[in-house]
Chain A
Amino acid sequence: MVAFRNHDASGRVSGLLLRSVLFTLLALGLIVVDKRYDQLGRIRRTLSIVVYPLELAVTSPFEGWSWLRKSVTTRDTLRADNRRLEQRLRDADFRLQRYAALQAENARLRALRNSTIGVGAKFIVGDIMDVELDALRERVLVDRGARDGVFVGQAVLDAHGVFGQVVQVDQRTCDVMLISDATAAIPVMINRNGLRTIAVGTGDPGQLKLPYLPINADVLKGDLLVTSGLGGGFPEGYPVGTIVGVNRDPVQSLADVDVRPAAALNRSRELLFVWVRRPASLPPPAKPVVVRQ
């Protein structure tokens, strides 16, 4: 590879081969270390502080615009909003009336069965930042990071259901993989009959699939899917989606089940990061579940 040492009018590029080999080895080393050993977390967090201003610079005009729009809303809009929210609060209060009693009853029943999983969850709220990550992956950047105690594998919800899982934590931000990402999978349970299975993402934010149900499984259109809490990554009993289509092809041994996610995957702005209190006997939460296709 002597040809790499070029002499020409613009001066020669000395040692191009040497330098490219050096940088290549460095990059390969980084990949291996980052993948195999979780040693790079601190380095990555330090480096991410360098790109954080850039992310902030990109997201701030959008935030400024939405602040401006909020501050010039008319009195009528505010009153309409207020009326709507009061209505919703009243509805929610009605439903909450029995909550305390049910919670106590639930705790009593759980005590009878010696099971305490999923009781008492702590959470914080984070905002999605207006920063585009990889166009081909279902991921969002959220303004909560290691500073706030967010960890890799943590469950993320929105107001309607399960949203995703934290895959990358930086100092002030984190990446959340949506449950609709093509590599995401989440342990679920059909609320009607307790049938457990796994929901996988399709890469389309409006659709999940249940690929592992046998053709004679008891699933119906309209069934609600909730998290089963198995695997330890997600808290138990949160809505994941509704079954919108069951396709039973007699030739296949598995049914083709389509699910519409409960969470507003491409509309939500505010997300909930959940901490599940778990008994000491359970292992720590698994890293993000990834299916190989």
Chain B
Amino acid sequence: MMRSRPVRRTPIALSALAALTIAIVPLPSVLDVLRPDFLVLVVLYWSIEAPRIGGLTLAFTAGLALDLLNGVVLGEHALALTLTAAWTTHLRLRLRVFSMLQQSLTIFALLTGYQFILFWVDGATGYPLTSMARWLAPVIDALVWPLMVGTLSRLHER
């Protein structure tokens, strides 16, 4: 697994940048609620696959970028993504031997935690979000996870 290190930084950075771009491309509002959090999935993938390079630093930076783009309190997504990525890294040996279904279920659980942290910070900072649409995100992300793994594994096994 540990081949040339410098080569592997590029796909990580590129995939994160691509995910960040997709996150802000305008869509019709119906589709917009269904948009998966690609950046979160990318971060989780690299915390499983390459936790030393694409681990917490990536998670924190990506979270900060999401905070800036979303215009929410600085540190909200950074906190949620750091904790989720840390937990994923902790679980990664088990995740690797899981079947795709089990992986998706685990991702669902992790992302529900992620949304809960966001929900909590939103409430604590005075911008509570009452819409139930937030809890749809983990389901969509878990459904997209196999696609994500397929794409990203091709990227770094090359």
| Min CB gap B75→A, angstroms | 3
| Set of chain B residues within 8 Å of A182, measured between Cβ atoms | 129-131
Contact yes or no, A203 B131, CB < 8 A = yes
A135 at the interface (CB under 8 A from B): yes
Residue of B nearest to A47 (CB): B68
Which of B56, B74, B93 contacts A19, CB < 8 Å? B56
A34 at the interface (CB under 8 A from B): yes
Task: Given A137-B129, A167-B71, decide whether A31 and B89 contact each other with a Cβ distance below 8 A.
Answer: no
Total interface residues in chain B, CB < 8 Å: 51
Contact yes or no, B126 A10, CB < 8 A = no
Give the residues from 100 to 151 in chain A that come closer than 8 angstroms, CB to CB, to chain B: 130-137, 139, 141
| Set of chain A residues within 8 Å of B107, measured between Cβ atoms | none
Which of B27, B65, B79 contacts A28, CB < 8 Å? B79
Residue of A nearest to B74 (CB): A34
Q: Of the 9-residue stretches A50-58, A191-199, A240-248, A269-277, which lies at the interface with chain B? A: A50-58
A99 at the interface (CB under 8 A from B): no
| Set of chain A residues within 8 Å of B29, measured between Cβ atoms | 135
A26 at the interface (CB under 8 A from B): yes
B128 at the interface (CB under 8 A from A): yes
Contact yes or no, B133 A131, CB < 8 A = no
Q: Of the 9-residue stretches A1-9, A64-72, A251-259, which lies at the interface with chain B? A: A1-9
Which of A3, A58, A62, A183 contacts B128, CB < 8 Å? A183
A35–B126 alpha-carbon span in the complex (Å): 9
| Min CB gap A164→B, angstroms | 13
Give the residues from 69 to 123 in chain B that come closer than 8 angstroms, CB to CB, to chain A: 69-76, 78-79, 82-83, 86, 89-90, 93, 121
> Chain B binding site: helix, strand, loop or mixed by DSSP?
helix
Contact yes or no, B131 A13, CB < 8 A = no
Give the residues from 166 to 205 in chain A that come closer than 8 angstroms, CB to CB, to chain B: 167-168, 170, 175, 182-183, 203
Task: Given A11-B2, A51-B65, decide whether A31 and B21 contact each other with a Cβ distance below 8 A.
Answer: no
A95 at the interface (CB under 8 A from B): no
Number of A-B contacts defined by CB within 8 Å: 140
A50–B66 alpha-carbon span in the complex (Å): 12
| Set of chain B residues within 8 Å of A31, measured between Cβ atoms | 73-76, 79, 121, 125
Contact yes or no, B90 A30, CB < 8 A = no
A29 at the interface (CB under 8 A from B): yes
Contact yes or no, A54 B21, CB < 8 A = yes
A64–B100 alpha-carbon span in the complex (Å): 42
A10–B47 alpha-carbon span in the complex (Å): 12
Contact yes or no, B126 A175, CB < 8 A = no
| Set of chain B residues within 8 Å of A135, measured between Cβ atoms | 29, 32-33, 35, 133
B55 at the interface (CB under 8 A from A): yes
A219–B130 alpha-carbon span in the complex (Å): 28
B26 at the interface (CB under 8 A from A): yes
| Set of chain A residues within 8 Å of B35, measured between Cβ atoms | 135
B42 at the interface (CB under 8 A from A): no
Contact yes or no, B65 A23, CB < 8 A = no
Contact yes or no, A131 B24, CB < 8 A = yes
Contact yes or no, A23 B82, CB < 8 A = yes
Which of A34, A48, A62, A203 has most B Cβ within 10 Å?
A34
| Set of chain A residues within 8 Å of B78, measured between Cβ atoms | 23, 26-27, 30
Residue of A nearest to B60 (CB): A23
A6–B29 alpha-carbon span in the complex (Å): 44
What 10 pairs between A and B have smallest CB-CB spacing? Answer: A30-B75, A20-B86, A27-B79, A175-B71, A31-B75, A135-B32, A10-B1, A168-B71, A34-B74, A27-B78
Kindly list 13 other residue pairs between chains A and B, CB separation below 8 angstroms, not including A4-B90, A55-B24, A290-B127: A6-B93, A11-B2, A13-B89, A20-B82, A27-B78, A27-B82, A28-B75, A31-B79, A47-B64, A51-B65, A62-B26, A141-B71, A182-B131
User: What would be 9 A-B contacts, judged by CB atoms less than 8 Å apart?
Assistant: A16-B55, A16-B56, A27-B63, A31-B125, A34-B73, A55-B24, A133-B70, A135-B33, A135-B35
Chain B positions within 8 Å of A, measured between CB atoms, are 1-2, 17, 20-21, 23-27, 29, 32-33, 35, 51-52, 55-57, 59-60, 63-65, 68-76, 78-79, 82-83, 86, 89-90, 93, 121, 125-131, 133-134
